[in-house]
Chain A
Amino acid sequence: MSIDRMPIHVGEIATRWTRREALARLAVGAAVAGVGGAATHFAPKAKRIVYIVLNGGMSQVDTFDPKPMLRKYNGQPMPGGAPKTERATGTLMQSPFAFNRTSSCGTEVSEIFPRLGGLMDECCVIRSMHTDVPNHEPSLFMINSGAIQPGRPSLGSWLTYGLGTENQNLPGFVVLCPGVPVVGPPLWSSAFLPAVFQGTFLKTQKSDPYELIQHIKPQAEPAAQRRQLNLLKKLNEEHLAARAKDSQLEASMAAMETAFRMQTEAPEAFDVRKESAATLARYGDHDFGRSCLMARRLVERGVRMVQIYYGNSQPWDSHEDIQAHKHLAARTDPGVASLIEDLKERGLLADTLVVLGTEFGRTPAVETGSITKIHNGRDHNSLGFSVVLAGGGVKGGITYGATDDFGYRAVEKRCYNHDLNATILHLMGIDHTKLTYNYSGRDFRLTDVAGNVVREILA
């Protein structure tokens, strides 16, 4: 363990974030080299991720996990008794939505996702997801950081820590939400990883990129700024010449030049107003549609991970009335479908992983517990839910795993949150057991002490 722990290494790596540089650098600073020795553990299938979180808890039986038995047993108690969730639930409730097969693979999808339903040949639906706690905060932490409590680095932080970014003029890990989802910033925290790996959070209510990104708007004319930087370079060079060689001083000078270039490149990348009206309409001209469009622009430019929260607080939390899913899906469907279509058209879907996820599912039984509410919704359910994956080395046109007859509990080929994260890391070329960071006396990893790569869904 003769590791040189000079914190400086972090700085040196961080400045030279490009992949090629990382190769050389990561081999040196083992203390911070997540993927010590090589940029990846094996050839990556995916180079970037768009991870969409339908926050609040998407009901599986109304979207991607059709359950004919629910229709048969509608209004009856669940045979064998229902597992306990958070609140009181009553009898089984059929989905008010029809399911259709509109893709050649035959995967059935709810009518509330008409366009996505037609793209199932590109998608793998994992129908056997399960997690630990039927409550939003711990489950949001779980999908993001592999622990139910705060204080662990998020997936995006692990990825940028391990892989760096392909475009050093842009942040490597970007998080989009119109306002703030439940829990908020701790979800994209780098925790004990260097702060530089935390998500860059943008509130997409605004569309002017200069209002989106901190300090990106040049405060002087380019020529004046260039003049300043030339003087600065001269002063720094003289300062450096008077001292023995010091890479941190050189890195600092390089970072300033990069910052100068970022001022032009970053706003362009974030500016969805540069898209045609037709494109905007195709994605949906609202917060979520614009976020999907921005995600496409960002991954096209080499951002490692873009995470999109559907909306503020927890919009998908349909306790009262599952009909609300119809309106939520109506906004979600065009954005996600257009994103997949566009990535495919540009040849990027092959190495871009799109994840349509949620923190947990909902009960197939109607929720009856809380007073003053209508009994047409579903409670939280951590025992079974669905996640959709597309591109990035995932087999399209398949479903994986299954819940029981009523969609309550994952029973077949169960997929734990850690398994999903292990698989995501695998697609990115990382062995999830080897992407570690020594902190507080032990090696931490995203998947804690669990996680199995779901090999069956790999293309």
Chain B
Amino acid sequence: MLPDRMKFLLSVAMLLSAMPLRAGSEEAARQVLAAKCGGCHGAAAMGGLRLDSAAGFAKGGKSGKPALEKLLPAVMSGAMPPGGRLKTEEIDALEKWIGEGAPWGRDGHWAWQPIGAVRAGDSIDSLIDRRLREQGIAANPRADKRTVIRRMFFDLVGLPPTEGEYALAFRDRAEGWEGRLADRLLGSAHFGENWGRHWLDVARYGEDDFSGTAMQPYKNAWRYRDWAIGAVNANMPYDRFLKAQLAGDLMGDAGLVGGLGLTGLGPWYYGISQPPQARADERHDRVDVVSRGMLGVTVACARCHDHKYDPFSQKDYYALAGVFASSKYQEYPLVSETEVARWKAKKAEVDAASKLVDQYLERQGELLKDRFAREMARYMLGTGEGLDAEVLKRWKEYLAKPEEFHPFLKAWFADRSEGHARAFQELMIGVLAEKRQLDADNRVVVEAAMKAAPKPVRTIVLPGGYRSDEDFNPGADVPSKSLERDRYVAYNRTFQEASAPLKFSAELTVKLLPQEARGEYLRLKGELDRLKTELPAQYGYVDGIAEFEAWDLPLNVRGNPEDLGEVVPRHFPTVLGGEELRRGSGRLQLAETVGRHPLAARVAVNRIWMHLFGEGIVRTPSNFGLAGDRPGNAELLEYLAARFIAIGYDVKAMTREIVLSEAYRRTADKGDQENRLWWRQNRKRLAAEPLRDSLLAVSGRLDRSVGGASGELKPEFVRRTVYAKVGRFQAEETLSLFDLPSAAVTCEQRVVTNVPLQKLFFLNSEMVAREAAALGVLLKKKGLERGYQLVFQRGPSVSEKKAAREFLKRGGSWVQLAQVLMSSNEFAYVD
């Protein structure tokens, strides 16, 4: 291995030589090669030729000539590709690339290189200003103090300043007020709420799974959300933050287990597909969240074939997936083992008692069937003494319309005689007996088959106690006997379906219990109730993962988990270092490697920048590969990454440095120029959470308490939005309307949409109505001047005052005025 210093020198050389050259021509050519040639001359290597690597080009095909010599003639003559001649611009792209010496920079790509030390004299502003000077771009002036204060509040804590907070900052006229404000905001617990939520986008944080109603939501999920918020507030070094989320159970610090929610909370696919597919999809998600979320590389693209652009092989993918195949879901209780055991024992007692009650009622229900079957004719005729009203009602409904499902009542409908009723009664008593006999026989067959079935290779237990074997529906394919069709339908209609006259639900059974059974039932039920009241609420736990049998995965041919290729030893992607990951599951090694990887630092600082400027230096924040964006100002990104490492992955210090730069404080006024070199700030629309939080903040109803279980976003829920439930099965409607990302996959960057449905929220939603009502009261009480201060941290202009006065005079109310302010652009867009 090269000493780090040498690596650095090398990398600078590569950066300088490779970057400007490769931008453009290589990518354009590579896209043509991948799209038009890769089908045959990729892994398939038709004619022995591969056009997806530098080595493939050098080796050439069967002719033995280097591919570069033959490429242009082949495509220009139309001999290749066979599917149809390339377009002129595609040929041009290849020609241009060859003309430039056919650079193949996969391995020299900037993002794979190590990060050097910070160069003396460099700073955010010096690096930005130099590029602006070179390009002859004039920077915007510094924004006024109010704008900067508001910007810092929204960017750092995601809330507008209160009157007091604003006054404190605004009246601080001494040099360095920005630093003092930054310190206050970075030290606030609300900073963690806002920035913890940024991370939760990457972590595809959700509190349930796609199976939705079929499974219980993860009731402890919020503990991971709070862990993330707490880690940000405690300023946990970023490398440790990442590491804990992958291997918090292996770091000797119980407090770090909370980070395991990253994968412990899924997504788990349960039985959505057959087990091999579902488990492979789960591992895929983990590979994706680690590689894109933490490292900004798209290793997940290599599931079915080698990566089309980046040097990630399919083996790299399975090498990484193996780490997660060697880990399993695990609950980490937050109380002592004794307490867990005690609770579980009590729970087992409740379950057992509950089962006794169920079984007892089921037996009694069968007896009721017998009893009422013997009285069927009486009920059908509806005559006689002592008929049960409920059962009689059901019979009446059953017989109200001609039976179209089975033929056995034909005679009865033709002539509702006692004889026909009796005949039906006798028939059904026979059907009931036959059904019971068949069920008993089938049970024997199925149990035997289950016993004889091969044991599953691996059994996985997912949240909620869901067990998954490699087998699918064991027992389902055992042939069983059944009633003949018409007899079954008659049975179903009479004894089984919910509305059947002789279907005795637990509730109905209790009602109809004979005297001699009542005592026993009450005893069992009493015991169950007693045990239930003695069962305390379940202890809290963290949904995490733990070590499992180590398993090197076989490569899945074309991504098919049932078509297995060679076994791939677990390791880190080769181009990123290729470290072995074979101690235990390999998770701890993975965590260590990820945490200190240069890409992790680059991705982190780019995201911090993105949240402060509305856009990253690299505009594909989860893809730093060849198909991703290149940094608009590469030196700036490298500087920030180097600084970040030098200051020990200190997120707050990094954030502070950026916020205090001149660049951050510029006005957001747009011009014709693009803003890739940061000559101005970007105007940002508030995201779903700060938008809702701001409505509550200005109405004075926001509950600012920090942490705790999640709540439904109902009108009475006035906590910050980060504490609202997050569904994967069903996203919260209002938040999705304002672009809350799907919790199904790691989110690269929020999109900002601007649609009429969002405006309907401001016009007609219960929430805006409620907050406007509260703000309206404040406005009326305090007057327009104070009201504007409260909402916008400024007084109204002369014309605004005039407009408002006019509005009120013409019949508008203070509440309606409040609603207008809340719906305004100034409210939603932060300069």
Contact = CB atoms under 8 A, between A and B. Distances in A.
Contact of A371 (B308, B446, B668, B754): B446
A374 B210 contact: no
A149 B273 contact: yes
Interface in B455-499: 472-473, 476-480, 482-483, 485, 488-489, 492
A260 B762 CA distance: 11
A255 interface: yes
Interface in A337-394: 368-376
B671 A440 contact: no
Contact of A375 (B446, B482, B819, B820): B482
B448 interface: no
A10 B730 contact: no
A321 B485 contact: yes
Contacts of A455: none
B824 A232 contact: yes
Contact of A191 (B309, B744, B812): B744
Contacts of A442: 298, 301, 308, 627
Nearest to A5: B619
Interface in B182-233: 210, 212-213
A215 B488 contact: no
B745 A218 contact: no
Given A195-B751, A235-B824, A259 B760 contact: yes
B816 A228 contact: yes
A196 B753 contact: yes
Given A215-B763, A374-B492, A440-B622, A238 B627 contact: no
Interface residues of A, number: 90
B656 interface: no
B756 A255 contact: yes
A148 interface: yes
Interface in B742-796: 742, 744-745, 748-765, 769
Contacts of B625: 441
A456 interface: no
Contacts of A399: none
Contacts of A236: 824-826
Given A86-B473, A194-B751, A253-B825, A216 B764 contact: yes
Contacts, number: 282
B403 to A, nearest CB: 13
Interface string A197-229: 010000000000000001111111000110110
Interface stretch (B160-168, B241-249, B800-808): B800-808
B543 interface: no
Interface in B723-738: 729-731, 733-734, 736-737
B123 interface: no
Nearest to B733: A214
Given A8-B752, A194-B753, A231-B807, A138 B764 contact: no
Contacts of B823: 232, 256
Given A369-B480, A440-B748, A235 B803 contact: yes
B761 to A, nearest CB: 5
B803 A231 contact: yes
Interface in B610-632: 615, 619-620, 622-623, 625, 627-629
Interface in A116-168: 133, 135, 137-138, 148-151, 168
Interface in A80-126: 86-88, 90
B533 interface: no
Given A149-B281, A248-B683, A88 B476 contact: yes
A274 interface: no
B759 A256 contact: yes
Contact of B755 (A15, A246, A323): A15
B763 A238 contact: no
B757 A150 contact: no
Given A135-B274, A149-B281, 8 more contacts: A90-B479, A137-B271, A196-B753, A215-B763, A228-B819, A320-B488, A374-B488, A440-B288
20 contacts: A5-B620, A135-B273, A149-B281, A184-B213, A195-B741, A216-B764, A227-B810, A228-B807, A234-B799, A239-B824, A243-B668, A244-B671, A248-B752, A252-B829, A259-B760, A376-B488, A439-B748, A440-B623, A441-B297, A441-B309
Interface of A: 1, 4-8, 10-12, 14-15, 86-88, 90, 133, 135, 137-138, 148-151, 168-169, 171, 183-186, 189-192, 194-196, 198, 214-220, 224-225, 227-228, 231-232, 234-236, 238-240, 243-246, 248-249, 251-253, 255-256, 258-260, 262-263, 320-321, 323, 368-376, 438-442
